[in-house]
Amino acid sequence: MRDFDSPRLMADIGSTFARFALETAPGVFEHVVSLRCDEHADFYAAVRAYMDQLPPLPIDHAAVAIANPVDGDLVRMTNYHWSFSIEETRLQLGLETLVVVNDFTALAMALPRLRSTEVRQVGGGEARPHSVMGLLGAGSGLGVSGLIPAGEGWVSLGSEGGHTTFAPRDDREIALLRFAWNEFEHVSFERLLSGPGLVLIYRAMAAYLRRPPEALSAPEITARALEGSDLVCGETLELFCTLMGTVAANLAVTLGAHGGIYIGGGIVPRLGEYFDRSRFRERFEDKGRFSPYVAGIPTFVITAEHATFTGTSAILEAQLRSLQSSSSGTSAILGQIRRARDNLSPAEQRVADHVLAHSRKVLNDPIAEIAKAANVSQPTVIRFCRSLGCEGLSDFKLRLASGLTGTVPVSHTQVTQDDSMVELGEKVLGNTASAILQVRSQLNRDMIDRSIELLLGAARIEFFAVGHYGVVAQDAQFKFLRLGMACNAYVEPRLQLLAAQTLRAGDVAVLISGSGKVPELIAVADAVKERGAAVLAITASQSPLAKKADALLIVDHVEDVATHMPMISRILHLLVIDMMAVGVAMRRDPAHQAIDMPTLTVDPESDHREPQAGLRHGTGATALATPLSNLTAHSR
């Protein structure tokens, strides 16, 4: 871990309390304070109230763990009324970095960093080194996560596993389910294994034992059960621990968690030895044919005081390391700037250098200040933004901000010879997902609209690609033929130039290339332009082919075709074709009316496919009740 240049602000936000701390050195948390959420108007007000209590200190970086899914810039709490923009809050607090993650994602990242004195094992089993770990925690809800080893590090699972359906195991639990059905159509484990769930179990047990219930809170129920002064409370807590064993066992077999199951949250760690003596472990190992399997998996209660802060700190450290890495760049668009810089004009290069050196400052500066700092004109700044596929300076800033203030960065993971088949599959899928998200961040609304309008108005469409990208052109031909549009695909270089020379004004040539530097396709583009037809390029930004295009759809993913086939980039190009096909279909049939399209059936006795309905040339698109994934599936 790098040395701290300033203290780092840590926050753990629940629906009742907001906990704050300053990390003054790696793993050292000071000025720990808990504030009641209902005493502050919003998240910013709570953070500001905490910071106002601190001595004057420079705080540049902060990380927040919150009991809520985090997806994008806007965070809306599920169990409380707070909502906030990550970037707006960062600016209000004057921070360089603000990372916001799900609280159980943060707690999961703490697991490899916990010392033996910060956990307590319940029952038998032995953890395998560097193996999958599962995580549970009951508080205002039921948090579920997992931790997957990846190379030298770990990947935390974002999960809503607490909402899995409750399955009773005996008559008492069946009675509990029937009681809960009176209030909830769907009874998840979170309905029972949480603070509100304790109250629900208590009322159900009172009815089951034919005892009058009292108006007790979850802490009061727990206190009476631990004292042994109330039969119903005792039954409630005992059942609570038993059900926790069911959930823990389910998670263990689902994840193959040979690294152990860890239990945190605000309830179980406070039960102390009572939990160890409960039926938790007995139920955990009661898994039928898989009882020996789960018996070898250890279970632990997390006793560390600042476990969530520890995990949040690890995520922040990883983000800062990524932001300061010159090789990976600070965001998708900054990486795009680095790749495109050498192909920019000298004036645009000065803008690029200024953005790379002062990315945080650029977010807040007006165009006049950016132009002055880069020693260029304001129109040059706009040209720079558009050369990256952005609609203008505002769009550029939005993309830059999302990269600088995102949650846990999605990154490329190297496949190694030591990987198991499962690990290999996870890495391949993860790398593809990362590339798709990067291309999504580069989408330009104006260019998409321009491309769809060109295709809609085309008298004739020709798709051109060479080598490994030929399958993309053929896939495009199939999709647009299904839409009843006249088109061809040319993947043979000797025919491409001849075909291009037959085009006329009103036709569109779609050129597909990973690098945008293929001489044959550049020659095709020149021939198409000479004939007065339009060029739509699906290729890398700032490439020679991109500069010849009338409309450009950027796919910036470079693969070394000298060492392996371009797998991911072809998938990205196929997705862009899907996007174009769906866009054309929707524009031609905005009401999504069902239109007579060919339905392919397969004779089980042969490989011959026969169309069941005629294809009406130029008369419409698919109904689009068919999802995008199905459109893609038809082309495989």
> How confident is the model at residue 346, as a pLDDT?
92
User: Quick one: fold of 8-103?
Assistant: Nucleotidyltransferase; domain 5 (3.30.420)
494 has a pLDDT exceeding 70: yes
The pLDDT mean for the chain works out to 83
Query: Which of 3.40.120.10, 3.50.30.30, 3.40.220.10, 3.40.367.20 would CATH assign to domain 116-303?
Result: 3.40.367.20
Q: Which two tokens stand for residue 103?
A: 């609280």
Q: Per-residue pLDDT averaged across 419-437, rounded?
A: 64
Which residue did the predictor score with more confidence, 158 or 118? 118
pLDDT over 70 at 559, yes or no = no
What's the rounded mean pLDDT across residues 421-433? 64
Nearest 5°: the CA angle 342, 345, 348 is 95
Find the range with the poorest average confidence among 37-41, 280-284, 321-325, 390-394: 321-325
Tens digits of residue pLDDT in 52-105: 999 888 898 999 999 887 877 788 887 788 989 888 888 888 888 899 988 888
Mean pLDDT of 584-607: 53
Q: If one looks up domain 332-404 in CATH, what number appears? A: 1.10.10.10
How do the domains of the chain map onto residue ranges? 8-103, 116-303, 332-404, 447-633
Question: Would the CA dihedral through 452, 456, 459, 462 be positive or negative?
Answer: positive
CA distance 86 to 70: 10
The residue type at 246: T
CA–CA separation, 215 and 177 (whole Å): 21
Q: What angle do CA 55, 61, 66 make, to 5 degrees?
A: 100
Of 217 and 595, more confident: 217
Name the pLDDT band for 386 (thresholds 50, 70, 90). confident
State the CATH class of domain 447-633.
alpha beta
- The pLDDT of residue 330 is 44
Q: Tell me which of 611 and 554 has the higher pLDDT.
A: 554
Between residues 146 and 564, which one has the greater pLDDT?
146
Residue 632 has pLDDT above 70, yes or no: no
| pTM assigned to the model | 0.54
- Mean pLDDT for 351-370 is 83
pLDDT bucket at 424, cuts 50 / 70 / 90: low
**Burial track 483-513 (b if 16+ CB lie within 10 A, e otherwise):** bbbebebbbebeebbebbeebeeebbbbbbb
Q: How far is CA 4 from CA 28, 348, 359, 379, in A?
A: 11, 35, 21, 40
Q: What is the pLDDT of residue 629?
A: 34
How far, CA to CA in Å, does 564 sit from each of 143, 558, 559, 560?
Answer: 41, 12, 8, 6
Confidence of residue 431 (pLDDT cuts 50, 70, 90): low
| Least trusted range by pLDDT, from 14-28, 129-143, 435-449, 499-513 | 435-449
Question: So what's the pLDDT on residue 262?
Answer: 97
What pLDDT was estimated at residue 595? 40
Most confident of 6-20, 143-157, 417-431: 6-20
Rg (CA), the chain: 29
- DSSP assignment of 251-284 equals HHHHHT-TT-EEEEESSGGGGTHHHHHSSHHHHH
Question: What is the predicted pLDDT for the residue at 189?
Answer: 95
Burial of 429 (0-12, 13-18, 19+ CB in 10 A): exposed
Q: What count of Cα atoms within 13 Å lies in the side-chain half-sphere of residue 91?
A: 12
Length of the chain: 636
Instruction: Calculate mean pLDDT across residues 140-159.
Output: 83
Please write the tens of the pLDDT for every residue from 221-239: 999 999 998 999 999 999 9
> Contact at 8 Å (CB) between 255 and 248?
no
Return the DSSP state at 410: P
CA atoms of 37 and 52, how far apart (whole Å):
16
Quick: pLDDT tens for 41-53: 999 999 999 999 9
435 confidence band (pLDDT: 50, 70, 90)? low
